Structure 1
Amino acid sequence: MQQLPLDIELKADATFDNFVTGSDGNSQLLSRLQSAAQGEADFIYLYGEPGTGRSHLLQAFTQHYSENLPHSLVAYLPLENSQLVPDMVEGLSGFDAVCIDGFERCVGDKAWETALFNLYNQLKEQGKTLIISGAEAPQALKLTLADLKSRLSAMLIHAIQPLSDDDKRLLIQKKAKERGLELSDEVANFLLSRQQRDLPHLLGMLETLDQASLQAQRRLTIPFVKQVLEL
């Protein structure tokens, strides 16, 4: 995998295997991304609210593509990275697969929109792969370039469905297990009933509990969780 000259790291735990799909629609998206990571050319635009796993899926795709096709080139661009500039996109047409994460950050910026419009056309002409994540569907984006909106609208568009509370419980228990923690159904349900339900908050809370558990050498019980989180 060729890397851009930037400090962009992929999370080691961003894999297809540990992505909790929840709905059938999310399962279909995962299957499509897995096929693309095997080298099947595709143009996919996925969107969803924060915490639905957009970055996880793009990073998982990048890592799996690199492992499955070591002689092919794949690039991952998180547009939240302030070091990225539109001129860097110019050379990406030589890559076999490109992932653009956080597309909403370039909306209204003509230089970025033009660069990504050109990249889209170049990759499409060469029969390559482009995966884009955004906060909204293409039709809802207030783009400067109308032609870019039409290109994005022609991609396979998939809305990532938020997880149910049961799926969120399964996810935080899975993440806890990866950390060597035992998170019982009772404690997990307590956390879901007392805390914000968005995944970034839940996972941040799990990080806090992990550190406290390690330091105090305590199991995760409801009294201990109440103490640590000051509930």
Structure 2
Amino acid sequence: MQQLPLDIEIKADATFSNFIAGGEEANRQLVDLLKSVAAGNSEFIYLYGNAGTGRTHLLQGFIHQYSECFPQRLVAYLPLDNPQLVPAMVDGLLSFDAVCLDGLEHCLGNKEWETAFFNLYNHFKEQNKILIIAGDKAPQQLEVVLQDLKSRLSAMLIHAIQPLPDDAKRLLLQQKAEERGLELSEDVINYLFSRQQRDLPYLLGMLEKLDQASLQAQRRLTIPFVKQVLGL
């Protein structure tokens, strides 16, 4: 795997094996598709979902598995919300074998960016390479200046990531707590879910805050301690 010369992190724990599909058949099918592409089946895939649905996790999971299957090939993950990026960097990906673009919505409305995406798409299609793009909306709902780009995006295999139900969010929160060395009891989780927002970005941000407070105070995550840290 070749990394681009940017401060871009591929998380070691962002793998297909620990992605929680939440009992959603569509999510399991998407993971299976990405696994087959990582094994060498060339496809163009567009996946979309709200923040916290796992778009980045799935793209980075693909990077890990593709790199394991084909260590000599060039694969790139590009988070398009990175302020260091410029359209010319997309042109620099033409020689790669597989590319994942994360957060397409951050660069739309700019003709230079859109032209770079359009050219990458056409080149990869001609060369039978792999292109995976993640956005926050379906292609037809994106605000795109270059209509030829929208038509190309609409021709990709399109998959919506289904949001997790509460029981799967609980499982994910416990999993992330365990990875941090924290014990998150059922009582504490029940307390949090009865009083806090339930969207994943908020829950994971709350876990980060609790982790830092626990380390500083050298205390377990009990309900009184959680109440104190979160000001409940």
Q: TM-score range by the shorter chain?
A: over 0.9
Aligned AA (1:143): V
RMSD between aligned residues: 1.1
Q: C-alpha distance in 1, partners of 2:181/2:82?
A: 31
Q: Which residue of structure 2 aligns with residue 152 of structure 1? A: 153
Return the offset for 1:11. 1.6
Unmatched 5+ stretches in structure 2: none
Q: How does 1:155-170 map to 2 (within 5 A)?
A: 155-170=156-171
Q: How does 1:9-158 map to 2 (within 5 A)?
A: 9-22=9-22, 23-158=24-159
Give deviations 1:5-55, integer Å, cap 9, x for gaps: 222121222111111111111111111111111221111100111111111
Q: Helix, strand or coil for the counterpart of 1:148?
A: helix
Give deviations 1:92-132, integer Å, cap 9, x for gaps: 12111000000001211100111100100110111110000
Q: Helix, strand or coil for the counterpart of 1:30?
A: helix
Aligned AA (2:224): P
Q: C-alpha distance in 2, partners of 1:86/1:26?
A: 31
**Number of residue pairs matched by the alignment:** 231
Q: C-alpha distance in 1, partners of 2:78/2:13?
A: 18
Give deviations 1:42-96, integer Å, cap 9, x for gaps: 1110011111111111112112211221011101111111111111111212111
Q: C-alpha distance in 1, partners of 2:4/2:177?
A: 33
Aligned AA (2:170): R
Q: Helix, strand or coil for the counterpart of 1:92?
A: coil
Give deviations 1:111-168, integer Å, cap 9, x for gaps: 0111100100110111110000001000011211111111111111011111111110
Q: C-alpha distance in 1, partners of 2:84/2:181?
A: 36
Q: Helix, strand or coil for the counterpart of 2:37?
A: helix
TM norm structure 1: 0.96
Q: C-alpha distance in 1, partners of 2:174/2:4?
A: 35
Return the offset for 1:216. 2.5
Q: Helix, strand or coil for the counterpart of 2:16?
A: coil
Aligned AA (2:192): L
Aligned AA (1:196): Q
Q: C-alpha distance in 2, partners of 1:111/1:208?
A: 39
Q: Helix, strand or coil for the counterpart of 2:93?
A: helix
Aligned AA (1:16): F
Give deviations 1:170-204, integer Å, cap 9, x for gaps: 10011111111111222112112211111111111
Percent identity over paired residues: 71
Q: Which residue of structure 1 aligns with residue 185 of structure 2? A: 184
Q: Helix, strand or coil for the counterpart of 1:51?
A: coil
Q: C-alpha distance in 2, partners of 1:215/1:83?
A: 33
Aligned AA (1:111): E
TM norm structure 2: 0.96
Return the offset for 1:215. 2.7
Aligned AA (1:20): I
